[in-house]
Amino acid sequence: MSTPAILAENINTHYGRSHILRGVSFRVAPGETVSLLGRNGMGKTTLLRTLAGLVRPSSGSIQLNGAEVTNSRASSRSRAGLAIVPEGRGIFPNLTVEENLTFASRANNKGERPWPLERIYSLFPRLAERKHHWGNELSGGEQQMLSIGRALMTSPSIFLLDEATEGLAPKLRDEIWATVKQITQSGIAAIIVDKNLNDLLALADRNMIMAKGEIMFEGTSAALRADEALIHRHLGV
């Protein structure tokens, strides 16, 4: 078996005294697309933030592309090829669109830049039109495009996307999903969180359901679709 892009072993994360992640273990293969599902407040965001190094786990270990990163900073994980599009998008309001995009532009460890600025602009022509606007002058959809584009410009091998299409109109959602598909097909390992079950199942190689800080289910989209009781219990549809 090749080295996993992400290997998480028995992660426990606390916020103050509340125990949020409870012994989470999983792996994501290079290039694999994994969806992360679960009702509100079950710990999806906390898991992504723990992987990115924005929250310290109280125990457990995390490896990215075979390297132990449990105790390393978010910045060094980013430079090692992990990119996160956070809940709330994290746009810098006082930087222009183009300054946001190029903020952390860098080559990967092979010296390649698979997502140069022109490619981002052709993925999202609206960003090109607005490149001189301030970050806080964008609509929600444009902010999501910007956050995705900015993450891609770091040339990541691992891509964490929280609330991919939350709050977006259906047409914009389709646009985001089309781009996410290009990203996942480019060989980047991805964990994607969203509320739209069908869109995610169509995209993902594998799915994980979180409930109360634990992974309750891991399996293919076909297996998940077949288990209506599971869907009903954990996803409320």
Partner 1 sequence: MDLVFIQLLNGVQYGLLIFLAASGLTLIFGIMGVINLSHGSFYMLGAYGALTLTAFTGDIFLALLIGVPLAFVFGIVIEWLFIRHLYDRDHLQQVLLTFALILIFNEAQKLLWGSYPHSVPIPSYLQGGVKISALLTYPYYRIAVAAFCVALALLMVFVIQKTRVGRIIRAGESNREMVEALGIDSRLLFRFVFAAGVALAATAGIVAAPLESVYPGIGEPILIISFVVVVIGGIGSVKGAFIGAILIGVADALGKVYFPAFSSSVVYALMAAVLIARPGGLFGRAA
Ligand X SMILES: Nc1ncnc2c1ncn2[C@@H]1O[C@H](COP(=O)(O)OP(=O)(O)OP(=O)(O)O)[C@@H](O)[C@H]1O
Binding residues (CB under 6 A) for ligand X: these are 15, 18, 20, 38, 40-46
**Minimum Å distance from CB 207 to ligand X?**
15
The verdict on 35 binding partner 1 (CB under 8 A) reads no
> Exposed, middle or buried, 118 (CB in 10 Å: 0-12/13-18/19+)?
exposed
**Minimum Å distance from CB 93 to ligand X?**
21
The verdict on 50 binding Mg ion (CB under 5 A) reads no
Of 45 and 154, the one with the shorter C-beta distance to Mg ion is 45
Measured between alpha carbons, how far is 199 from 217 in angstroms, rounded to an integer?
18
Measured between alpha carbons, how far is 80 from 63 in angstroms, rounded to an integer?
11
**Minimum Å distance from CB 205 to partner 1?**
25
Number of residues located near partner 1, criterion CB under 8 A = 22
**Minimum Å distance from CB 18 to partner 1?**
18
The verdict on 143 binding Mg ion (CB under 5 A) reads no
Subset of 110-169 contacting partner 1 (CB under 8 A): 150, 154
Dihedral of the alpha carbons of 146, 148, 151, 152, in degrees to the nearest 10:
-110
DSSP E strand boundaries for 18-166: 18-28, 33-37, 59-64, 67-68, 82-85, 158-161
Encoded tokens for 102: 């190029």
**Minimum Å distance from CB 99 to partner 1?**
6
Nearest Cα neighbor of 230 from 214, 210, 205 is 210
Of 49 and 77, the one with the shorter C-beta distance to Mg ion is 49
Measured between alpha carbons, how far is 96 from 91 in angstroms, rounded to an integer?
10
List contacts with partner 1 (CB under 8 A): 52-54, 73-76, 78-79, 84, 86, 90, 92-95, 99, 103-104, 106, 150, 154
* Residues binding Mg ion (CB under 5 A): 44-45
